[in-house]
């Protein structure tokens, strides 16, 4: 059922009670779904706390090493049945899943807020993203096209077709606790795959609630379980998925350091990995920029989700002629933006996910200062009345230089490094000098500047934005980046091909056996 009115959204306990009732969550929840929900009794549990105030939300009984073989076996059995269903029929199933998710936009969105600290509008937007990708997958179910190729041999037909891989592993991060799963799972399933999800322990409840909703649809339709779940407390399930030859494709979203280990493990068994790793995204603001659009775009890009998006704007590259004016306005935004309980109206910046993120924030700013940087705003850990157990910081603006080591690293916190440039080529060189290559932006009304930024000699990122910020993306376009971001592509466009194996088919319908390239072989 959809979430009924909950009265004052700022009342944390009321929100939690209404959300848990709507989503069927308990004080202790099973974190293992392998076709049935595992009994929580006797299992090790992890506690899930809200970053808003440190309050305990619930316990989760986690999957263990001994559960893995059963998980894989059940997934493979489900694949055997699901892959025989015609793709358009699979699309009808995904349509029903999208319709069911529409009933839970409010409650599931608020659970995202409670568990990872997003504002309600961001939390609900994440659920809407799942619905949108479901709609995309429904259309895709009738468009899994293969090309027909002209054969050089007479009376031969040559074409390509695509088959599902089988069981696909998906490992997700806390910051988009259900949307990124849907990018992978709904597209992979409409192609005919079964998905095993290993979520971040920091977002276990959102994963459990989502898994309950989507599999309820499958149960009602008499279908096998297609979306399996294994919450663990660390690396156990992720390492097993990485090293298992029965997982042809493993999608991983997370840090570069962990992604490198995943890629090495999967490559060692000659499997395929889809990597969505770190971003160190920059926005160039030129002298020809619309100042209001640029200010809003930079502010949203840097502050949304408290700087905990892989697409967060982390470097601002400003033309010297507008530098002082723009910084003065941006500093006022930083000094007045409302930081606090994301459930409260008007709050734009919520908490960091945990104390380690706060520590990283402090250390990064100190390193910038040690390298010669100057703090323009922020650099404060906040203790807010009634939220003493939460993890809040003041968004920081730090003036620096492009060659600072810390500027070239990603810190998952609201820190924006401000850099100055004179010529556009210099700005693009600054932009491209980091090892990450996810999202990029330029703010300019000069067509030549824009086209230069979009040219082969411009942005080296997977995402390039003009007069809009680095953060956020629509589901119709392929999402992903280059360099140490991993090269993966998820969501729209032809990214569905990542979840399928290509097969080239040759058919000889003649009465002779001509060979290609004029080769003759007579016996």
- Considering the domain architecture, whether residues 333 and 380 belong to the same structural domain is answered as yes
pLDDT of residue 5: 44
Beta strands in 232-312, from DSSP E residues, in sequence order:
249-253, 272-276, 281-285
485 has pLDDT over 70? yes
Residue 342 forms beta bridges with which residues?
Answer: none
In this prediction, residue 207 has a pLDDT band, given cuts at 50, 70 and 90, of very high
- Considering the domain architecture, whether residues 217 and 307 belong to the same structural domain is answered as no
Is 276 catalytic? The answer is yes
**Residue 217 belongs to a domain:** yes
- Considering the domain architecture, whether residues 144 and 160 belong to the same structural domain is answered as yes
Question: How long, in residues, is the chain?
Answer: 523
**Number of structural domains in the chain:** 2
- Considering the domain architecture, whether residues 273 and 286 belong to the same structural domain is answered as no
**Residue 111 belongs to a domain:** yes
- Considering the domain architecture, whether residues 40 and 188 belong to the same structural domain is answered as yes
In this prediction, residue 8 has a pLDDT band, given cuts at 50, 70 and 90, of low
Here the CATH number for the domain that contains residue 217 is 3.40.605.10
Instruction: Name the pTM for this structure.
Output: 0.95
pLDDT of residue 9: 62
- Considering the domain architecture, whether residues 143 and 272 belong to the same structural domain is answered as yes
Q: Is 141 exposed, middle or buried (0-12, 13-18, 19+ CB in 10 A)?
A: buried
Quote the mean pLDDT of the chain.
Answer: 96
- Considering the domain architecture, whether residues 271 and 307 belong to the same structural domain is answered as no
Is 126 catalytic? The answer is no
**Residue 440 belongs to a domain:** yes
Cβ–Cβ under 8 Å, residues 297 and 312 = no
pLDDT of residue 112: 98
- Considering the domain architecture, whether residues 48 and 111 belong to the same structural domain is answered as yes
* Average pLDDT over every residue of 399-427: 97
**Residue 304 belongs to a domain:** yes
* Average pLDDT over every residue of 137-157: 96
Here the CATH number for the domain that contains residue 373 is 3.40.309.10
- Considering the domain architecture, whether residues 30 and 81 belong to the same structural domain is answered as yes
pLDDT in tens, 213-252: 999 999 999 999 999 999 999 889 999 999 999 999 999 9
In this prediction, residue 447 has a pLDDT band, given cuts at 50, 70 and 90, of very high
* Average pLDDT over every residue of 468-479: 93
Cβ–Cβ under 8 Å, residues 493 and 324 = no
**Residue 103 belongs to a domain:** yes
The active-site residue, picked from 310, 410, 449, 484, is 310
**Residue 509 belongs to a domain:** no
- Considering the domain architecture, whether residues 268 and 387 belong to the same structural domain is answered as no
**Residue 236 belongs to a domain:** yes
310 has pLDDT over 90? yes
Question: In terms of residue numbers, what domain contains 88?
Answer: 12-277+489-502
pLDDT in tens, 317-327: 999 999 999 99
DSSP-derived 3-state class of residue 244: coil
pLDDT of residue 234: 85
**Residue 241 belongs to a domain:** yes
- Considering the domain architecture, whether residues 269 and 292 belong to the same structural domain is answered as no
- Considering the domain architecture, whether residues 293 and 441 belong to the same structural domain is answered as yes
104 has pLDDT over 80? yes
- For the chain, the straight-line distance linking the first and the last C-alpha, in angstroms and rounded, comes to 72
């Amino acid at each position: 059922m959809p979430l009924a009115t909950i009265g004052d959204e700022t009342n944390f306990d009321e929100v939690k009670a209404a959300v848990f009732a709507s989503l069927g969550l308990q004080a202790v929840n099973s974190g293992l779904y392998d076709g049935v929900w595992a009994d929580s009794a006797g299992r090790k549990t992890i506690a899930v706390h809200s970053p808003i105030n440190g309050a305990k939300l619930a316990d989760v009984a986690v999957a263990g090493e001994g559960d893995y073989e059963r998980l894989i076996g059940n997934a493979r059995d489900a694949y055997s049945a699901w892959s025989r269903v015609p793709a358009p029929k699979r699309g009808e199933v995904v349509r029903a899943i999208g319709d069911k998710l529409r009933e839970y936009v409010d409650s599931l969105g608020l659970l995202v807020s409670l568990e990872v600290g997003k504002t309600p509008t961001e939390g609900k937007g994440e659920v809407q993203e799942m619905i949108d990708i479901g709609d995309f997958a429904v259309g895709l179910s009738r468009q899994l096209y293969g090309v027909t190729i002209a054969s050089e041999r007479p009376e031969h037909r040559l074409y390509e077709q695509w088959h599902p891989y089988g069981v696909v592993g998906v490992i997700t991060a806390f910051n988009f606790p259900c949307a990124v799963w849907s990018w992978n799972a709904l597209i992979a399933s409409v192609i005919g795959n079964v998905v095993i999800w290993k979520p971040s322990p920091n977002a276990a409840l959102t994963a459990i609630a989502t898994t309950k909703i989507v599999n309820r649809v499958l149960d009602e339709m008499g279908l096998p379980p297609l979306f399996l779940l294994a919450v663990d407390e660390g690396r156990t399930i992720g390492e097993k998925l990485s090293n298992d030859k029965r997982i042809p494709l493993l999608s991983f979203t997370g840090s570069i350091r962990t992604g490198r280990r995943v890629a090495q493990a999967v490559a060692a068994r000659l499997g395929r990995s889809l990597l969505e790793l770190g971003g160190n995204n920059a926005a160039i603001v030129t002298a020809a920029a619309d100042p209001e659009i640029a200010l809003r775009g930079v502010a949203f890009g840097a502050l949304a989700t408290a700087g905990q998006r892989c697409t967060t704007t982390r470097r601002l590259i400003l033309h010297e002629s507008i530098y002082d004016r723009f910084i003065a306005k941006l500093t006022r935004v930083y000094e007045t933006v409302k930081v606090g309980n994301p459930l409260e109206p008007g709050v734009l910046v919520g908490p960091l996910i945990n104390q380690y993120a706060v520590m990283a924030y402090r250390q990064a700013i100190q390193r910038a200062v040690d390298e010669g940087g100057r703090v323009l705003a922020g650099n404060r850990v906040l203790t807010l009345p009634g939220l003493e157990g939460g993890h809040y910081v003041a968004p920081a603006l730090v003036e620096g230089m492009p060659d600072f080591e810390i500027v070239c690293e990603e810190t998952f916190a609201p820190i924006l490094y401000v850099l100055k440039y004179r010529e556009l080529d210099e700005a693009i060189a600054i932009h491209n000098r980091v090892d990450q290559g996810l999202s990029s932006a330029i703010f300019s009304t000069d067509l030549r500047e824009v086209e230069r930024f979009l040219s082969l000699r411009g942005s080296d990122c997977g995402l390039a934005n003009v007069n809009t910020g680095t953060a956020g993306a629509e589901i119709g376009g392929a999402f992903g980046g280059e360099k140490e971001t991993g090269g993966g592509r998820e969501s729209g466009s032809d990214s569905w091909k990542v979840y399928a194996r290509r097969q080239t088919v040759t058919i000889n319908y003649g009465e002779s056996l001509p060979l290609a390239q004029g080769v003759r072989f007579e016996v």
